[in-house]
Chains A and B, each alone.
Chain A
Amino acid sequence: MKDDLGLDSLRGRLAEIWCEALAVDHVGDDTDFFVAGGRSLLAVQVCARAADAFGVEVRSSDLALDALFGSMVERVGESLPSTTGRARAA
């Protein structure tokens, strides 16, 4: 339960970062960054902000390969050294 909450809070913070960059009100797991209006400059900005927010490396090249919001939540979750990360990776 605690782990779910951790992932939810990660998801919420990441959604804020995406929404700000894309100037939209909502993103879902199936939102594709580039289809939703994202450009390469915004991609680097989103990754820089996510890296700062979670203290992990977030590569824009990963976003280029798989641009779904849900995939980025998973990638960041797996990089986190917390219980959230382990729960995700398990």
Chain B
Amino acid sequence: MLLDAPPVVPVLGPADCHIWWADPATVTDECVALLDGTERERIPQQRRTEDRRRFIAGRALLRTAAAGYLGLPPRQLEVVARCPDCSRNHGKPELPGTGLQVSVSHSGARVAVAVTRAGAVGIDVEEISTSVSPAELLPHVIGPTEPRAPAHATASGFHRMWTRKEAVLKATGQGLRVPLSDVGVSAPEEAPRVLFLRGPSAGPAEDFVLADLDAGAGCAAAVAVIGGGPLVFTAYSRSRPSAAAFIPGPPRAAETGR
């Protein structure tokens, strides 16, 4: 992961949502040096080396991406993560006073950070796992009034549905604290759309902008933003240590729906 500020910082307009991608295998000690004391305390709490790498990569990517927009050194950024239910410092990261809304997700060989000014944002990346049985999990994930589609029973369709729902719940800040069946999303082969949102953070489905992201082979990813009008989603890669990788170029496709 390249640590210098991007040579050309993309402009983050009010209707933009930028997605930054990186590979946790590229994590170095320099990435750790970007983190603050609270973040560093969290590293050894993860039992597995790969989970530590993903956490470091996620926070280093969050800091470098956000710092670029703000014209700050990544280390100077104040990143706050508060869990609403306990005193531990996990939960959705926030950048108070910056006007930027962010979300971080990692799975397998991918870390993604979403940044926008449009509203609360949630991103979810899932490596498509063959050990996941859609038939076993569907009754626990799809609500009784949610439309069922044959695609839900396929690994890719199931993971697409999952990432859409998880993105919505990460945007609301609820995460796993509410059942995924509280969120209804369109069928996997249809344009991404929120159908309903029940439970403690219930709100109009029209408030959400939902997009599927191209996370490469064997991976599903989605992003949700609350309260924005039509948004433009653009993806940037930080996984190659080359300045050229950071110049806003042809983005990886994001299918957008409302």
Contact = CB atoms under 8 A, between A and B. Distances in A.
Interface of A: 34-37, 39-41, 43-45, 47-49, 51, 59-61, 63-65
A23 to B, nearest CB: 9
Contact of A64 (B136, B141, B166, B176): B176
A36 B47 contact: yes
A35 B46 CA distance: 5
Contacts of B85: 65
21 contacts: A35-B46, A36-B48, A37-B46, A37-B48, A40-B166, A44-B141, A45-B132, A45-B133, A45-B136, A47-B140, A48-B136, A49-B136, A59-B179, A60-B179, A61-B177, A61-B178, A61-B179, A63-B176, A64-B177, A65-B85, A65-B86
B232 interface: no
B140 A40 contact: no
Given A35-B47, A47-B140, A41 B132 contact: yes
Contact of A61 (B86, B132, B139, B176): B176
Contacts of B141: 44
Given A45-B132, A48-B140, A60-B140, A37 B51 contact: yes
A44 to B, nearest CB: 6
Nearest to B106: A39
| 4 interchain residue pairs of minimum CB distance | A64-B176, A40-B176, A48-B140, A64-B177
A40 B183 CA distance: 15
B19 to A, nearest CB: 20
A59 to B, nearest CB: 7
B180 interface: yes
A48 to B, nearest CB: 5
B202 interface: no
B13 to A, nearest CB: 31
A65 B73 CA distance: 35
Instruction: Find the residue from A36, A49, A61 having the highest chain B CB count within 10 A.
Output: A61
A35 to B, nearest CB: 6
Contacts of A40: 166, 175-176
B137 interface: yes
